[in-house]
Structure 1
Amino acid sequence: MSRKDLLRLFEPERVAVVGATPREGSVGRGVMENLRSFDGDVVGVNPKHDDVLGFPCYDDIPSVPGSVDLAVVAVPAESAVDVVDSLGERGVKNVVVLTAGFSESGGGGAERETALAEAAERHSVRLVGPNSLGVTSTPSSLNATFGSASPREGNVSFMSQSGAFITAAVDWANDARMGFRHIVSLGNKSVLDETEFAEAWGEDDGTAVIVGYLEGVEDGGRFVRVLRRVTRETPVVLVKSGRTDEGARAVSSHTGTLAGSDRAYETALRKAGVIRADDVEELFDFARALDALSLPEGDGVAVVTNAGGPGVMATDAVGDTSLSLADLTDGTYEALDGALPDAASVYNPVDILGDAPPERFADAVEAVADDPGVSASLVIACPTTTFDFDALAETLVGTDVEIPLVASLMGGEATREARDVLSESDIPTYFDPGRAVRSLEAVADYRRAKRRRTGEVRDFDVNRQKARRILETARDDGRLGVEATPLLEAYGIPTPESDVVGSPNEAVQVAEGIDGDVVMKIVSPDILHKSDIGGVRVGVTQDDVRDVYEDLVSRARSYQPDADVLGVQVQETVGVDDGVETIVGFSRDPQFGSLVVFGLGGVFVEVFEDTSFGIAPVTDTEAREMVDGIDASPLLHGARGSQPVDTEAVVETAERVSALASDFPSILELDINPLVASADGVSAVDLRLTVDKEEL
């Protein structure tokens, strides 16, 4: 279906409610009551009534005269499939199923939902739900829901998997004088999901901001691709519930442990250019700011306040964000000196004193707005016996300010009219200065996301056939360790000279072919953390190779008698004194595919958790952002006089690992830890991975 067709869901001329009833407290009556304000025609379908609340009512769908643009279904779950079939045969293309009792419940609900989706597909029906609150569109005064309140008109389109969340949000937004354009309760998303609505609203000229509450995403890959296009033109703000790792798939690798259930969503939303809100308050704070404000050119913020304490609060809030408190120029200091009393502070935050009249606010705001280092401004006003919030609002509306301006009016009922005046003039207001600052950050974040260079996915010369042969050697449980090192070589990832041997004599032979001392490691897919049992020996001389081999095997047998010991790896020593131990790997996420990780590696990787993430396939730009995005990145660039490592080699390795993840979805988890990065390049010293052999 086209996006234009989907928008027709919100533009019906005639609505039919199947299951309409005058019975008090029923869903069918609630929808009919809300449709009283609809600009178009409304009919009911129920054989028990000739009319419902003054609207004509018909026995069944075939008996409804004329066309039907939107059907709202409020019948028992057992009847809903037949109703959708009948609507489809009648040619109705837009259907909202309010009925519960499908996949969210037991007793055959999942089977009913499958049948419902199949009925919709047979007739090319655009179906919302089931288990939906309904849909709303304020331009036509359409409220096809059983919610208790109708929203104000605005430019924000809102989707939610929770119908209760919509009813609460609409009630709150009405009190806050915030409006909506379209609202959809996604319900169980048996046909239409968040991606379709985001795509359609992205092409809707009347939608300035898209917001949503999501509990999950149906098709993660498509979601990211579509939202990346949408956010080029329209900001999207989402709250994603379910941040904890509980219930997530059990993982055995470092990468899987670090990724967790919420990391993939965080990474996917960032890749898609979506602004993530932490809670409901932020969701609508950010929406109001993105709807009202132009995009700032930079991150410098100026604060103008009539109270020192809130000014300090705002300063702290700025410090907690990606914004910065702007350094004012000498010219701005001179302008402020000329406009403010001697006791005022002209430094940012600019304290204009508690007795400041509205005109002093205006002078200070205009002075800082002209400063080249100021990209946005926050006005904080606290009540005094002589202060008039309404007069301040009128004055601020009249200021000559072109940069984004927000206000923190620190009062209650006394600020209501002032808040309305400012909001109508696209100056968002907040009680808490911190909320105002975070809203400015959201606007700045969208500027960065909108202008971010996506980069390209580079195509490398790799040996996929060799890689597949190696993966096919995985044990029945799918695990592979350093014996799979040739897999990395097949993808052009440098590895030290090494071999896996099965006897002391073979160990001696391999060691003799390597210059200098060697590293020896027990090779067993059953022993994940070899260092913990003394299963790794560094700096082994040629004379000690035989004894070390026997010691490693003995330690493994003592630690885990039933372990499958494949032998010992004899490896060229890779010096780490002049390098940095990092980790590169990926784990498979059920929604978004492979989540690639880069970070500080070695034995303490899970202690420090200094990592960054990308979703495969990562572009060259994303890989570079991952490498530069960890807290320890200064170590890679030569902190405290150390020699910089070859970061381009690190970036390329992350890209090659991403290519491996994309080429072989059968690899569930993979760790290269450590990947030693030095000035001379990188070397993959250790490896382990898990393969789903049935997917090969």
Structure 2
Amino acid sequence: MATEKAHDIMRYHHNPLNFMFAPKSVALIGASEKEGSVGRTLLWNLITHPFGGTVFPVNPKRKSVMGIKAYSSIQDVPENVDLAIIATPAVTIPDIIRDCVKAKVKGVIIISAGFKEIGAEGLRLEKEVLAEAKKGNLRIIGPNCLGLICPPTGLNASFASASPKMGNVAFISQSGAFCTAILDWSFAENLGFSAFISIGSMLDVDWGDLIYYFGDDPLTKSIVIYMESIGNARSFISAAREVALSKPIIVIKGGRTQEAARAAASHTGALSSSDKVLAAAFRRSGVLQVDTVKEVFNMTEILAKQPRPKGRNLTILTNAGGPGVLATDALTWGKGKLAKLSDNTIEELNKILPLHWSHSNPIDILGDANPERYAKALEIAANDPNSDALLVILTPQDMTDPTKTAEALVKVAQKIKDKPVLASWMGGETVAKGSEILNNAHIYTQPYPDDAARLFNLMWRYSYNLRGLYETPSFGESDDFVNRDIAENIINHAREQNRTLLTEYESKQLLKAYGIPIIETIIAENVEDAIAVSEKIGYPVVLKLHSETITHKTDVGGVKLNLKNGDEVKQAFLEMQSRISASDFLGVSVQKMANLEGYELILGSTVDPQFGAVILFGTGGQLVEVYQDQAIALPPLNTTLAKRLMEQTKIYTALKGVRGRKSVDLEKLKQILVLFSQLVLEQPLIKEIDINPLLVSGNQLIALDARVLLYDATISKEDIIPPAIRPYPNQYLSYCQLSNGREVIIRPIRPEDEPEAVNFCRDLSQESVYLRYFHSISHKSLISHERLARICFIDYDQEIALVAESLQPDSKEKEILAIARLSKVHGTPESAELGMLVKDKCQKQGLGSILGQKLIEIAKQEEIRSIIAEILPENIGMQNLCQKLGFRLDKHSDVVKAVLQLN
């Protein structure tokens, strides 16, 4: 009965991949009776784990396999097949896939190895298989995989030796051997799974597909991944960013010590590695990365039992000093902090604790602590506003009762709703019963307090990264700072000359075109001009080599600082000229000697082979590689993400002001990072770019030196690795006029629109809200940050939301008049859902028609083949609009479905 109920839930869970996990029929191509063969184990697992469907063995050499009628080919199977499992040699598989397409099979699991892992021939086979599969929209898991197991439906489509227990963890692994080890381990740990999948080399179905699937699956509460390669980076990040808000995604990455090939000519290329970039991608998408298998399942359990902390401040409650010290060490090494006890907390604790308690955090309540003392101390500590989480440590001393203490703590902990409570009951049999009581009450326990503190560090980092995804940024519009024409002219001029390296002068002008402050620089081709320019701008000056070929000027003596008069300028020019060949020496650039008081930073970008453009920020200067104080992020950045990038570096503490020094203008620095990320994305012909140093002190932020390397002129924009996160789609900005003459801008929504969205929602009537969302929403919920964040912070690769914006006639303030949205259907990216909401006072002015037509145009450009809209029967206005736009209406009693097929 439990399996039948789960099967019904899976079927109700509408997703195009359902046929993989809840098939009505399965064909096994390569079924065998040979002992020890993969084909025999697969068939045995299918028939001994009832999944409510039919199994069809396929073997051209046998009339039956294990007593079940066999078929010569998939086309001979008398019924439609949802899922085919293939366990035949790799060379046979292209023809088998061709037959599966003819038989209208929906999905295939390719168990066989012998594909890209063996080299060029295997890669050719993969391409042939994928090409055949696409002819029939056939989805593929594998090749070179163990298969999949879905305990809720009873399906075991794998050659694993056992089937896992049913639970709420979806486990996905690229390694089949790792799957079998985890499976064996799970029995001892009594861990259950909602799915157990070996994904193999991800020829078709990838991380993104499965994350979306289990994100929608009501039986799955968390997703655990063992990853060796990212595959389609954009697919992974898009899915993870959406699902991580509702379900933890925990990843352990294999092969982290292998660094990517380094770009010798670039500081940024030398300082970034694939592992660092992948970690940045995980942070950006809200994924929790852990280092050990033990941490994977510890975090799965802890996040299922306790709320996420709001910050990094931990309160430790203990009956012994030593364990508290160990926990504090582990906490601070991981950049967590001890919560500072408030005066009120100390006062309250003084009332219930012995005179000699620690009077600070860790709260040492002494070795004779009884259950009542523990419970009261926990209650007081939990009410301290400075505390984000609590760790309760117990050591089994003569006066201690671990069991009764656990019972007392449970009563208090169950009243603490907004802070996680962890426990460390130290010892063996003496504390076992108490640990069991705590675990059964959803209070996570660890035998070792330092391990508990390390897990808390993982918790707050995870929570911190999730919050960063949806914190409302500032500085949304940059057009006043940017001149794209100048930037493109500089780049095109260099490419026309077959140059990949911009001169320093060109590099700085490129930065200036994107609003990044530079120091004025003038080119001098001879010594007389150098002196004249120096006289004009005023001494002291700096001379730098002007060259189209030399990358790092300091390495060849191409930088001369603090020149105080014409004689020094002449000497520096001639010395530089004598040391550098005539073909490399085109003169010098002259600039005013900057006040070097402040901090030297580096801001750069390079291209990762998997994630496209990445951004580096940190401590700069000549010893940039020595200090190794840099952080990596994926563009595009907004001000929130720029701050998060800075916070990862050690230099950030100094930038905030230390030892009497004023803070750097951090708002301006964030703005520079945002503009820099915009430059990197809007000018994809840039292969590498370094600003080193970016000098900052007080209100002075200025790029002193810059280096830009372009792609070779033979490479077009289409050949360049796209960014892992799709940037703001400027191309969909347009203008229109309503029937009342009001001028309106239509553009894609931005995270910075949240304040305007609040005002938009406030002006909506309850009727408009009900017709759009099919239910009433309270005013408080309608304008909550959590809700509006999901509306304004979107993944442009998965959906395009257009806002119609205009200036208010009286105040001239910006006002959102309507929001229309086109969202791709999970698992079927060629289909999209349409939604629209127009402010009541702006209805019946043609705005709905304009937005609908714009979204149809966008759908065509995004290669979407069908648009779907679900409409309430009483929403006559939306039905009329859809008919006007060419939709076909299919009316049911509870909903009207509007469908538009696009060519």
Give the structure 2 partner of residue 473 of structure 1: 494
CA distance in 1, matches of 2:520, 2:349: 68
CA distance in 2, matches of 1:102, 1:677: 53
> Counterparts in 2 of 1:281-680, with a 5 A limit?
281-305=294-318, 307-328=320-341, 348-351=361-364, 364-366=377-379, 368-382=381-395, 400-401=413-414, 402=416, 403-411=419-427, 422-452=438-468, 453=471, 455=473, 458-461=477-480, 462-471=482-491, 472-473=493-494, 476=498, 478-484=500-506, 485-524=508-547, 526-540=549-563, 541-557=565-581, 564-577=584-597, 579-680=598-699
CA distance in 2, matches of 1:232, 1:464: 36
User: How far 1:175 moved relative to its partner?
Assistant: 1.6
User: How far 1:78 moved relative to its partner?
Assistant: 1.4
Give the structure 1 partner of residue 131 of structure 2: 118
> Counterparts in 2 of 1:143-222, with a 5 A limit?
143-222=156-235
Q: Note the alpha carbon deviations across 1:395-427, whole angstroms, 9 max, x for none.
A: 655554334233334456887777666544433
Deviates more, 1:455-464 or 1:223-232: 455-464
Q: Is the 8 A contact 2:142 2:199 kept in 1?
A: yes
User: How far 1:100 moved relative to its partner?
Assistant: 0.5
User: How far 1:632 moved relative to its partner?
Assistant: 1.8
CA distance in 2, matches of 1:333, 1:488: 54
CA distance in 1, matches of 2:593, 2:296: 52
Give the structure 1 partner of residue 773 of structure 2: none
User: How far 1:519 moved relative to its partner?
Assistant: 0.5
Structure 1 residues 555, 412: closer, same or farther in 2, change over 3 A?
A: farther
Q: Is the 8 A contact 1:42 1:55 kept in 2?
A: no
User: How far 1:54 moved relative to its partner?
Assistant: 5.3
Q: Is the 8 A contact 2:396 2:431 kept in 1?
A: no
State the SS of the aligned residue for 1:66: coil
State the SS of the aligned residue for 1:479: coil
Structure 1 residues 424, 100: closer, same or farther in 2, change over 3 A?
A: farther
Structure 1 residues 96, 346: closer, same or farther in 2, change over 3 A?
A: farther
CA distance in 2, matches of 1:276, 1:365: 31
Which amino acid in the other structure matches residue 21 of structure 1? S
CA distance in 1, matches of 2:237, 2:654: 32
User: How far 1:509 moved relative to its partner?
Assistant: 2.8
Q: Note the alpha carbon deviations across 1:554-603, whole angstroms, 9 max, x for none.
A: 2335xxxx9722322222222122x3322222111122221112222221
Structure 1 residues 343, 139: closer, same or farther in 2, change over 3 A?
A: farther
> Counterparts in 2 of 1:241-320, with a 5 A limit?
241-244=254-257, 246-305=259-318, 307-320=320-333
5+ residue gaps, structure 2: 1-12, 717-903
Give the structure 1 partner of residue 45 of structure 2: 34
CA distance in 1, matches of 2:379, 2:437: 19
Structure 1 residues 400, 269: closer, same or farther in 2, change over 3 A?
A: closer
CA distance in 2, matches of 1:153, 1:379: 31
> Counterparts in 2 of 1:42-57, with a 5 A limit?
42-43=54-55, 44-53=57-66, 55-57=68-70
Q: Is the 8 A contact 1:519 1:571 kept in 2?
A: yes
Which amino acid in the other structure matches residue 49 of structure 2? S
State the SS of the aligned residue for 2:205: coil
Structure 1 residues 329, 492: closer, same or farther in 2, change over 3 A?
A: closer
CA distance in 1, matches of 2:36, 2:410: 46
Structure 1 residues 673, 640: closer, same or farther in 2, change over 3 A?
A: same
Q: Note the alpha carbon deviations across 1:333-364, whole angstroms, 9 max, x for none.
A: 67767777788767543456667676765565
Q: Note the alpha carbon deviations across 1:281-314, whole angstroms, 9 max, x for none.
A: 2222212211222223444333344554333221
Structure 1 residues 500, 373: closer, same or farther in 2, change over 3 A?
A: closer
Structure 1 residues 368, 621: closer, same or farther in 2, change over 3 A?
A: closer
State the SS of the aligned residue for 1:270: helix
CA distance in 2, matches of 1:564, 1:164: 56
Give the structure 2 partner of residue 25 of structure 1: 36
State the SS of the aligned residue for 2:117: coil
Structure 1 residues 423, 689: closer, same or farther in 2, change over 3 A?
A: same
State the SS of the aligned residue for 1:47: coil
Which amino acid in the other structure matches residue 705 of structure 2? D
Q: Is the 8 A contact 1:458 1:619 kept in 2?
A: no
Q: Is the 8 A contact 2:413 2:421 kept in 1?
A: no
2:20 equivalent to 1:9:
yes
5+ residue gaps, structure 1: none
Structure 1 residues 312, 646: closer, same or farther in 2, change over 3 A?
A: closer
Which amino acid in the other structure matches residue 499 of structure 1? I
State the SS of the aligned residue for 2:261: coil
Q: Note the alpha carbon deviations across 1:166-208, whole angstroms, 9 max, x for none.
A: 1112222322222221222111111011111112222222222
Give the structure 1 partner of residue 775 of structure 2: none
CA distance in 2, matches of 1:420, 1:381: 14
Which amino acid in the other structure matches residue 510 of structure 1? V
Q: Is the 8 A contact 1:233 1:450 kept in 2?
A: no
Structure 1 residues 352, 269: closer, same or farther in 2, change over 3 A?
A: same
Q: Note the alpha carbon deviations across 1:121-172, whole angstroms, 9 max, x for none.
A: 1111121010111112121122221123322222221211111111112222
User: How far 1:317 moved relative to its partner?
Assistant: 1.6
User: How far 1:318 moved relative to its partner?
Assistant: 1.6
Give the structure 2 partner of residue 229 of structure 1: 242
Structure 1 residues 413, 566: closer, same or farther in 2, change over 3 A?
A: farther
State the SS of the aligned residue for 1:566: coil
Q: Is the 8 A contact 1:458 1:620 kept in 2?
A: no
Which amino acid in the other structure matches residue 120 of structure 1? A
User: How far 1:235 moved relative to its partner?
Assistant: 1.8
CA distance in 2, matches of 1:22, 1:392: 58
CA distance in 2, matches of 1:643, 1:381: 45
Structure 1 residues 508, 334: closer, same or farther in 2, change over 3 A?
A: closer
Q: Is the 8 A contact 1:454 1:619 kept in 2?
A: no
Structure 1 residues 308, 644: closer, same or farther in 2, change over 3 A?
A: closer
State the SS of the aligned residue for 2:585: coil
Structure 1 residues 359, 653: closer, same or farther in 2, change over 3 A?
A: closer
CA distance in 2, matches of 1:341, 1:513: 77
Give the structure 2 partner of residue 682 of structure 1: 701
CA distance in 2, matches of 1:143, 1:361: 48
Which amino acid in the other structure matches residue 491 of structure 1? Y
For the aligned residue pairs, the C-alpha RMSD in angstroms reads 3.1
